[in-house]
Chain A
Amino acid sequence: MPHFLFRPHVVRADESVSSPDPLLDRVVLNTDADRVFIPIQRVTTATELQVPGGTIEVTPAAALIGCGGGALLGMAMLVREAAASLQSADVVLARRCWRMRNVMDRWSELSISLTDGDQTVAQPLADGASVDRLTVRSPDGEPAVARGVAVLSATRDTTLSLNAPAAVTMTLNPAGLGQSLSFACDLLPVDEDPWEERPLPRYAVGPVEDVEHYL
């Protein structure tokens, strides 16, 4: 079973950080219309993404991640060609997260905004699927997400249409904690080469016999 090794930076209210590394192997996207699964190999935490020419659509999503110390709440960008299905989107996960339990009381105040500098869209999390639909309950009553699972929640009409190159920034706030989460990603046209003249690779030759200090 393929997996993605997620390396979140979980920020606590006191700004301290924990860094568990859960394996993810299942991504389920909940929208206002339906629920689809996205192949795990589409997930990345890259801050630069190559995208096809033409119009690109970027949809922000809340990302709920199963983790042993309590489910994580973070953000994802769903990046796809215009008119392509959400199931075919690249999923760009932000590494900075909160622990869900620390912000659950403020779920109704949480909103993810996405901007390319010119346009801005925002998705109040309460407009998406309910927490009860997105999560299960742990034995102690907390919202939980199963091991290896990332649950995304997005609304289809909260989408930016843009043309690469573009720099998009996603922010999750306010949490009432004096904090926000922010993630920026550069979308670069796949057919444009920023290096005007690309040289052939060179070959360097070091010592051609055994060198004792290398052993």
Chain B
Amino acid sequence: MQYSAYTATMQSVWFSHSEGQSWSRLLTPLGGFYNEARCWSLATHPERPGELLAGTDQGLYRYRTESGRFDHVPSPMDDLQILKIERDPRRPETIVCGTRPAEIFISEDDGATWRRSQLNAAAECWFINTTRVTSIHFDPREEDTIWITIEIDGVFRSTDRGRTWERLIDGLLDCDTHDVVFLDHSDGSRSILCSTEAGLHRSEDNGESWTPVSVPEAIAPWPYWRSIKQRADNSGVILASVGDKPSGEAGVCLISEDQGQTWVQAELSEPVNSTIWSFAINPADPMLIFFITIFGQIYRSEDGGKRWQKMNRELGEIREVAWAPNAA
């Protein structure tokens, strides 16, 4: 399978068509936006290979292989930071974007029209002044349910496709929430893991309450849990990043093969230079995974996250990584 990898950086979107070895970005003259545009987020299309949405400081953009450029997608988000983009895997024409300030914008027609959700997230935060969306998830089991995490305000859930929201923070040690993973068991029960700046949390009641998860300091040396992803084969293998702080100077990649009960440090070809900020998974090959550190390193695993090879190229500040198969 041939694939492309993408990174959202503080200097535009970079493309790799060489399995992450070399990276390039579009030329400014015809690329659609300038090469120093701050890009925060990416979303590939599950059915249209080569299509990419990029969230920037100057709006939402769509890349298509056929055009070879980013085209601006008119939306109410042009003056906001578009920090997260998620397409509904069941209905890809539904796109949810999360911004700074923490607001949710939803399109149900592939970006043609948008509505701002009435999300009553904190409008101000003592620590970071302005809250922001850190992750968006379409519930793998409930079709109309969307989850988001907000820094710094907790976990939010909508059961009506983003029309109304409830805040789920009971038991969280800290509302600086970063990411969640859903573990739907064969008996119908569900566990949810949530990464926060005060460690990992687990919920056994669909987010109604959370319990801190104790992970030995020898495995997770710091409490700052950032990104967390389930391997795309739904085997219960979970990857998580723990860093010394945001943005940090050190970090580890953790892997759990028993649905988050126990963790070990994954084997890295060399230590990371800052907190691991984003993992890229894709069901097209669950064993192929990328991660990036916020300060520019790119790592690739071809064995499902146990061993990682650092790519030679570094890219300044990176916020998100994604990959998807090329067109056949």
Binding site for B on A (CB under 8 A): 1-3, 5, 18-23, 66-69, 147, 206, 210, 214-215
Selected from B24, B29, B123, B129, the residue in CB contact (under 8 A) with A215 is B24
**Contact partner, B123, options A19, A20, A214, Cβ 8 Å:** A20
Q: State whether A20 and B124 are in contact (beta carbons under 8 Å apart), knowing that A3-B76, A5-B79 are contacts in the complex.
A: yes
Task: Check: B247 CB closer than 8 A to any chain A CB.
Answer: no
Beta-carbon contact of B125 and A68 below 8 Å: yes
- Contact of A18 with B76 in the complex, beta carbons under 8 Å: no
Are A210 and B27 closer than 8 Å at their CB atoms? yes
B1-44 interface code vs A (CB 8 A; 1 in, 0 out): 00000000000000000000000110111000001000000000
A69 and B122 CA atoms in complex are apart in Å by: 9
CA distance A24 to B42 in the complex (A): 27
- Does B80 have its Cβ within 8 Å of any Cβ on chain A? yes
By a CB distance below 8 angstroms, the chain B residues around A214 are 27-28, 35
Give the dominant DSSP class at A's interface.
loop
B72-128, CB < 8 A from A: 76, 79-80, 100-101, 103, 115-116, 120, 122-126
Q: Does B65 contact A (CB under 8 A)?
A: no
A1–B23 alpha-carbon span in the complex (Å) = 39
Residues of B within 8 A of A67 (CB): 123-124
A5 interface neighbour in B29, B35, B80, B115, Cβ under 8 Å? B80
A-B pairs with beta carbons under 8 A, tally: 47
In the assembled complex, the Cα of A33 lies from the Cα of B47 at a distance in Å of 59
Give the A-binding residues of B (Cβ under 8 A): 24-25, 27-29, 35, 76, 79-80, 100-101, 103, 115-116, 120, 122-126, 129-130
Chain A residues, Cβ within 8 Å of B28: 214
Measured between beta carbons, the chain A residues less than 8 angstroms from B27 are: 210, 214-215
Give the docked Cα–Cα distance between A5 and B124 (Å): 13
B59 to chain A, nearest CB (A): 13
Q: Do A68 and B25 touch (CB < 8 A)?
A: no
Nearest-Cβ distance from residue B269 to partner chain A, whole angstroms: 25
- Pairs A–B under 8 Å by Cβ, sample size 8: A3-B76, A3-B116, A21-B129, A23-B101, A68-B123, A147-B120, A214-B28, A215-B25
- Beyond A18-B126, A66-B123, 13 additional contacts (C-beta under 8 Å) are A3-B116, A19-B129, A21-B100, A21-B101, A21-B129, A22-B101, A23-B101, A67-B123, A68-B122, A69-B124, A147-B123, A214-B28, A214-B35
B30 → A minimal CB distance (Å): 11
Contact, CB under 8 Å: A1 / B124: no
**Within the assembled complex, what's the spacing in Å between the Cα atoms of A22 and B24?**
36
Q: How far is the CA of A147 from the CA of B194 in the complex (A)?
A: 28
Please determine whether B130 and A20 come into contact, CB atoms closer than 8 angstroms.
yes
How many whole Å from B120's CB to the nearest CB in chain A?
7
Closest chain B residue to A18 by CB distance?
A: B129
Taking CB atoms, residues of chain A closer than 8 Å to B120 are 147
CB atoms of B124 and A68 under 8 A apart? yes
Q: Which of A21, A147, A214 has the most CB of B within 10 A?
A: A21
Closest B residue by C-beta to A68: B124
Within 8 Å CB of A147, what residues of B?
120, 123
Q: How far is the CA of A68 from the CA of B126 in the complex (A)?
A: 9
- Among A3, A22, A210, A215, contact of B124 (Cβ-Cβ < 8 Å): A22
The smallest C-beta distance from B102 to any residue of chain A, in angstroms, reads 10
Contacts of B130 in A (CB 8 A): 19-22
Q: How far is the CB of A184 from chain B (nearest CB, A)?
A: 24
